[in-house]
Every structure is written in C-alpha cells, then in structure tokens.
Amino acid sequence: MIASVEVQPGRYHDSVRLMQASRSLQQVPGVSDALVAMATELNLSLLEDMGFDPATVAEAGPNDLLIAVRGEDEAAITAARRALDGALAPKTGASGGLDAPEPRTVRSAAAAGAGTIALISVPGEHAFVEAMEALEAGLHVMIFSDNVPMEQEVALKQRGMADGLLVMGPDCGTAIVGGLGLGFANAVQPGPVGIVGASGTGIQELCCLLDDAGVGVRHALGTGSHDLSGAVGAIATLQALAALDDDPAINAIAVVSKPPAPEVAAKVRVAAGECTKPVAIVFMGETTLESGAAAILQSIGTRPAPYASWAAPTTGHRSGTVRGLFSGGTLRDDARFVAAAALGEIGTVETDRGHTFVDYGDDRYTQGRAHPMIDQTVRIDRLRAAAADDSVGVILLDVVLGYGANPDPASELAPVIKDAVTAGAAVVVSLCGTTGDPQDRDRQAAVLNEAGASVWLSNAAAAREAARLATMRESS
C-alpha cells in the first residue's frame, strides 16, 4: 500500500460535496482509504486516526483543501485523482454546457423569484451578512449554518421580530412549512399538528412518531438550538408559537427543546397557556419525545399504539458500560434522561468515564465536515473503537432518515455493527424515520437487525432497552 497526502491552499468546497467526493474516491478499485475535506482541526485528527502522517499537513488550515488517498499502487492513486477531478468539476446543464449562472446574492435571488423564505447554508462566520440581507429583502430566514456567534443570532432575531419576519436558526437543521420539508426533514403526511422546535432531531422524532400513528404535520418551525437560552430568550419560539396558534388548520401544537434556561422555560409556558389550542411542552429532562407524541395524540382524540421494533438476541453480550453514539443532540438528551433512571450518571463527552452518551452533531464535531446524519465517518470510527473496548457492554446509536440525510446509512453501519456484536457487544439502534422516507425505513431496519442490532422506532424505547441490557449483565 502507498499513501498520498496533498493540501490545496485556499480551495473551498461545501462539506456535503466533499463527503460525496470522498465516497467517489473510496469506490475506486485499489483504493482502501480516502479523505477529501477542509483541513479543520477535527479533520486533521481524523486524518491521523486513519493512519496518515499528520506531519505532511502541519501547515494546513481550515481554508485549505485536504486530499488523502491510500491505494495498492500508483495506478490506484492516479485513478483516485481523476475521480476527484470529476467529483469537484462544475456541473453541466442538460444541453451539455455549463449551467446558467445562479444568483450571486440573496437580494438578487429574492428579486428573481416569488419565494418567501431564504435558506442560509454557508460557513458560520459568513451567515450573519447573508441572513441580514435576506431580512432586508423581506424574507423569512432559515439559517442552517452553525458556529454563529450568539450576539449575531440575537441581532438577527430582534431585527426579524421588528419586521414581522421569523428567523429560524442559526443551527436550524429541520423545518416543515406547509408540508414542504427544509434541511433534514422526514416524509410525513399533512395534518393538523404544528411543532415549534429548538431542536432538529426532536422535531424529526415527533414527526415520525405522529406519522406512525396516522397523524400528520402541517408546520414544524425550527428555531435553532440556542433560542431557549437565557441570551436569546425564546424570540423565535414565541413568534412561531403565536403564528401556529393563529393558523386555522392547526388543532394542536408542540414545543420541543433541550433543557431551556429556567426563566425562558417559564416565559414559554405562559405563552403556551395563552394559546387557544392545546400545547404540549416537551422539554428534555422533564419528559420524553415519546410522551410528547402521546400528549399530542390525546389532545386530538387519537389513541397511541405501541411502536414497532425489530428484536435481536438479548443474551451472550459482555458486561460493561453503555456507549451512546448520537447524531442528534435532542435524541441524545432524550435517551440520557430515560436511561439515567436505571444507569445513574451518564457523561456527555468522550473523556468521561463510565456510561457516556455523546452528540456527534455538536458544533465541535461538525466544523469543516458534513453533519453525521450525512457523513457517518466519525461515528463509524467511534463505533469501531467502542467495539474494541472491553469495558463497553452495550452500544446505543441513533439512525436518522429523511430528505438530506445519508441515502443508505444501514449499508455503511451494518458491517461495523456485525463486527461489534461478534466482539461481544450488544448494539441497540434508535431508528428515526417514516415509511415514506426515501431510504425505505423498514428495509433499513431489516439490514441493521440482520447485522445483529435490535432496532426501535421510539428513541425512548431504545434507551430503555440499552439500559435493560446493561443492568441485565450487571446483575447476572
């Protein structure tokens, strides 16, 4: 095997496109490993974890393109370079020529169409300027970008509130507006429910649980993960709550969030109490997403039914701690709240000892690379590490389906899950998806189950199962 590592200074590409380029290189015959990414601290660490020499890129920075390939010979490396050129080449139109130039500013895009929402997805340091331009053009804004300073978020939301415009985000990964999914969203049927969420995966889990019960969602308005902090004060949450209450097609509302600042939570409860429609408050640490879905269903006269699961062997795994590897922060918090009743204290960073549930969708893990719901590289690496760690008895992970997510996550995870089970660990999967999602939810479940994982549609149920397996081994 030979290795090639190259840095191209100042050559920026979107992380999703780079993830797709990495996959293209990995599929070249003779190539065993490939990484195409911006040279952020996390990606440089990943490069070293993959066995490449970090000294070769010591001077690289986050604005530089990193290309690392390991192949069986020079011909494989050359073929990988050709594949990379094709993956990063400008797109061509149907006639064979280059596509017509797209608008280069938010304002020109607004002038060219009849849209009412601008979706901003640029590196965090540039998001403020683009979002402010959208507000000035009279557009509501969804800011998919993360790593945006808090003071900029507050300024944008105050400007939006003054102009009667909703600012969803920063770090708003999911929204559904009039049945149209934006960002990471699942294929759900239309219906009478409205959701406000300072959480992308919290919105997704609620949508999926409701859809599985036969109840649809009209709007799911993301606010960004920091909206219910003391610094922001629920500006977007209160705007969205009022808008949903005014919509005659909405019969029930849910507000979902990671644990909010206490004074902000109180403010939201007061506003919810003043709504003319029933509002379910789903704050992690107080209740579960499963219970929140049940409350919504009850408010519209629908009885919850047990959610499907795919069982796996529950004996023979080794004793040890539970390692949670999550792509969604709210799914992590939901599972941690449930499992702590049986397991006690659960850490939230990789360096914690004992039971640990880590959110790999957190800002620290996504700088310069695609979200783990798209690019599973980091989580697969951690899954292998957990399987090799004899102190870990149970591995719990979420798999989130829907538009924008990895097109076939089970096919990537299954071989690693099979190895983990063979090594003696039990694997439990929380599968967030609907039957209408492009990945084919039930096929994904079957592939994961055949690899040896137990699969649950309810995140809370998956957490209970992981805790049961851990305590079963401890008491045996």
Same domain, yes or no: 268 and 405: no
User: pLDDT at residue 111 above 80?
Assistant: no
Residues 6+ apart with CB under 8 A from 55: none
For 287, the token pair is 């209740």
Instruction: Flag whether pLDDT at 397 surpasses 70.
Output: yes
Asked whether residue 98 is domain-assigned, the answer is no
* 326 in the same domain as 292: no
Decide if 409 is inside a domain. Answer: yes
The answer, yes or no, to whether residue 473 has pLDDT greater than 70, is no
Same domain, 338 and 441: yes
The whole-number pLDDT of residue 101 equals 60
Mapping DSSP to helix (H, G, I), strand (E, B) and coil, where does residue 252 land? strand
Strand 180-183 and strand 174-177: pairing? antiparallel
| 58 and 187 assigned to the same domain | no
Question: Is-above-0.85 flag for pTM?
Answer: no
Same domain, 156 and 294: yes
416 inside domain: yes
CA dihedral angle for residue 207, residue 199, residue 178, residue 307, rounded to 10 degrees: 0
- Nearest in space to 347 (alpha carbons), one of 359, 355, 338, 337: 355
Mind listing the pLDDT tens digit for each residue in 39-61? 888 788 888 888 888 888 888 88
Percent of the chain at pLDDT above 90? 68
Nearest Cα neighbor of 335 from 430, 207, 408 is 430
Q: What is the mean pLDDT of residues 172-196?
A: 94
Tell whether 321 and 435 lie within a shared domain.
Answer: yes
* The two three-digit tokens of residue 158, written as one number: 């105050």
CATH number of domain containing 250: 3.40.50.261
101 in a structural domain = no
Q: What is the CATH number of the domain that holds 14?
A: 3.30.70
Amino acid in position 382:
R
Using omega within 30 degrees of 0 as the cis cutoff, is the peptide bond preceding 248 cis?
A: no
Q: Is residue 249 helix, strand or coil?
A: coil
Both 125 and 263 in one domain: the answer is: yes
Question: Which residue did the predictor score with more confidence, 113 or 296?
Answer: 296
* Nearest C-alpha neighbor of 186 from the set 342, 355, 405: 405
Task: State the Cα–Cα distance between residues 275 and 381, nearest whole angstrom.
Answer: 46
What would you report as the CA-atom Rg of the chain, rounded to the nearest whole angstrom? 23
- pLDDT tens track for 415-446: 999 999 999 999 999 999 999 999 999 999 99
Q: How far apart are CA 348 and CA 359, in angstroms?
A: 8
Q: Could you give the CA distance from residue 440 to residue 446 in angstroms, rounded to a whole number?
A: 10
Q: What is the pLDDT of residues 129-153, one digit of tens each?
A: 999 999 999 999 999 888 899 999 9
Q: Is 420 helix (H, G, I), strand (E, B) or coil?
A: helix
| 97 part of a folded domain | no
96 within some domain: no
Q: Based on the domain organization, do 57 and 146 belong to the same domain?
A: no
What's the rounded Cα separation, in Å, for the pair 429 and 163? Answer: 44
Q: What is the pLDDT of residue 147?
A: 84
CA proximity to 342, closest of 206, 455, 473: 473
Regarding whether 319 and 434 lie in a shared domain, the answer is: yes
274, 299, 324 - which closes a domain: 299
pLDDT over threshold 70, residue 476: no
Q: Are 295 and 306 in contact (CB under 8 A)?
A: no
Residue 238 lies in a domain: yes
178 and 238 share one domain: yes
Write out the two tokens for 419. 């190895």
Assess whether the previous peptide bond of 170 is cis (omega < 30° from 0): yes
End-of-domain residue from the set 57, 88, 119:
88
pLDDT digits (tens, 9 = 90+) for 285-314: 999 999 999 999 999 999 888 899 999 876
**CB–CB of 201/258 below 8 Å?**
no
Whether residue 43 is contained in a domain is answered as: yes
Q: What is the rounded CA–CA span in Å between residue 476 and residue 473?
A: 5
Q: Averaged over 238-252, what is the pLDDT?
A: 97
Q: Are residues 248 and 319 in the same domain?
A: no
Average pLDDT, the chain: 91
Tell me the C-alpha to C-alpha distance, in Å, between residue 314 and each of 358, 443, 471. Answer: 24, 22, 12
Judge contact between 98 and 92, C-beta under 8 A: yes
For 84, the domain range is 2-88
Domain total in the chain:
3
Question: Residues 328, 457: one domain?
Answer: yes
Q: Name the residue with higher pLDDT: 38 or 348.
A: 348
Residues 14-39 have a mean pLDDT of 84
pLDDT at 92 over 60: no
**Share above pLDDT 70 across residues of the chain, in percent, rounded to a whole number:** 94
State the Cα–Cα distance between residues 198 and 363, nearest whole angstrom: 15
Which of 278, 299, 320 finishes a domain? 299
